[in-house]
Structure 1
Amino acid sequence: VYKALVEKTKCIPGSKVENNKFCVSVHFRCVEEK
């Protein structure tokens, strides 16, 4: 799941995927709004 999310979000500048112990988090707080 982690690798799939990294692949899907790599084209979004400012996005970040964290691989936590029991879950995966996707952060969009640094993404520029359009």
Structure 2
Amino acid sequence: MKGKLKELKLTVNGRPYEFKVKPKTLLVDLLRQELKL
């Protein structure tokens, strides 16, 4: 499973988002980098 991307679906402030992320990606990093939060 090493190196494979995972599908992540989440809702932030009422808006749905879908991402393909590495298993070790931290949610805080995703929110900062992709959503600019």
Bin for the TM-score computed over the shorter chain: under 0.3
| Greater strand proportion | 2
Q: TM-score, normalised by structure 2?
A: 0.22
Greater RCO (CA < 8 Å, at least 6 residues apart): 1
